[in-house]
Structure 1
Amino acid sequence: MDSIGESSWPDFAYYSIEERVRWIFDHYAEDEILMTSSFGSSSALLLHLIHKISPDHPIYFLETGYHFEETLAYKERLQQQLKLNIKTIGAPENKHRFTEENFTYEHNQDLCCFINKVEPLSTLRKSHKIWLSGLFKYQNENRKQLGFFDRKADLLKVYPLLDMTPEEVHTYFFIHELPSHELVAKGYSSIGCTHCTVKGSEREGRWSGKAKVECGIHL
């Protein structure tokens, strides 16, 4: 468990987004902090903050095997621009191959996400105390209910960007000259795997027509 209890968590509503991230790095050791990125439409914002505060901090990328080519290109572009220390993880080859041959993404999206996302992250979760995540309240109803700090068993999740508006996100990208994901201009707002992502506003393009709203790693 954390040495910093819930009573000591700050009220991030009075902190800037940079102050929030700095607080985490001031109060936890580097090897206690987990940072992952999907290199989606808004990922560059938190990555830029990490670059400013702890340039060599590991950024874990989940290679699901189903990413858009544009996402992989965006990852390379951000890695070069921000000099990111990216480490790629993913499912064992035999398990990923099962989802390909079984077309699991078509008839059991939860199982496909578990194999290619949730399970590969499980070991990393156990070896860290805190997980920084770039979720926003405006993305869907589920995320509107989140607070800045979210205790998940022995892992504390922190959402330093949670209360930002779409306009504030756009302004941050503009001021800091951050590149946009190529698919954003083509009508994609939230970008995941190719089989489960269509054009749409915010998260409505993810698992369109299905009851599913999250891949599982944030639940």
Structure 2
Amino acid sequence: MGNYSGSSWPDFKSYTIEERVKWIFDHYAEEEILMTSSFGSSSALLLHLIHKISPDHPIYFLDTGYHFKETLDYKNKLEQQLNLNVKIIAAPKNKHRFTRHNFTYQHNQDLCCFINKVEPLAALKAQHKVWLSGLFKYQNENRKQLAFFDRKQDILKVYPLLDMTPEEVHTYFFIHQLPSHELVAKGYSSIGCTHCTVKGSGREGRWAGSAKVECGIHL
């Protein structure tokens, strides 16, 4: 185990999803690897893989202050079922309070996301070299263009589940008996903050009626 200094990345297309995650933990030190989770509709899959490969690895949950109760319940359920080491980060209370009193999410969604998601995560990213993320190509046009390895200016992002299909995700949940987010059965596919999420397939329920497709942390 140690910092990978190779000039090229492996061909993840020939790896299983478990082999992909294991490769990261074999080639980088634990403290260099950042794992975050929104505890959304598909989050349990990558969390299950982390649980198998590195059970005590920290899982950072970004508490925006606007999560559905069902999301918080789902976090607690997965935390107990998979014995996850969950750590919570959030915006400073005064900044979050500003977005709540100012109703920032109604007239400037980018600013609300920056204050409650992008900025709190920035400090955490600075402490790590690799960021494991459970994005899928099928989720939207922006993600369809991603590669398994995405070198950002400040961190290397790795998407080990990127080429999975919705059917493969569903099968993984079924085989490993992973619980479903309660809102999925109510018509929600992608689940974010309460004021920016409505029912819909794919990510069409996120920021519905606007041109916004990402919160900013994955750009």
Is the Cα contact below 8 Å between 2:31 and 2:128 reproduced in 1?
yes
Question: Partner of 1:59 in structure 2?
Answer: 59
Would you say 1:97 and 2:68 are equivalent positions?
Answer: no
Match of 2:211 in 1: 211
- Aligned residues between the structures: 218
Deviations 1:76-124 (A, max 9, x none): 0000000000000000000000000000000000000000000000111
Q: Measure the CA separation in 2 of the matches of 1:73 and 1:108.
A: 28
- For 1:1-219, list aligned pairs within 5 A: 4-5=4-5, 7-219=7-219
User: Is the Cα–Cα contact under 8 Å of residues 33 and 129 in structure 2 kept in the other structure?
Assistant: yes
Shift of 1:7: 2.9
Deviation of 1:194 (Å): 0.1
1:6 Cα deviation after fit = 6.3
Gaps of 5+ in 1: none
Offset at 1:8?
2.9
Which structure 1 residue ranges, 4+ long, deviate > 2 Å from structure 2?
A: 2-8
1:154 and 1:68 map into 2 onto residues whose CA distance is: 31
Matched residues in 1 for 2:117 and 2:6: separation?
Answer: 28
Q: Deviations over 1:53-73 (max 9, x none)?
A: 000000000000000000000
TM-score (norm 1): 0.98
Q: Do 2:189 and 2:202's aligned partners in 1 also have CA atoms closer than 8 Å?
A: yes
Give the match's secondary structure for 1:131: strand
TM-score scaled by structure 2? 0.98
* CA distance in structure 1 between the aligned counterparts of 2:73 and 2:6, rounded to whole angstroms: 40
Identical aligned residues as a percent: 83
The letter for the 1-side match of 2:161 is L
Residue 8 of structure 1 aligns to which amino acid in structure 2? S
Q: How many Å separate the matches in 1 of 2:14 and 2:175?
A: 22
SS in 2 for 1:39: coil
How far is the alpha carbon of 1:150 from its aligned partner? Answer: 0.2
Deviation at 1:3, TM superposition (A): 5.1
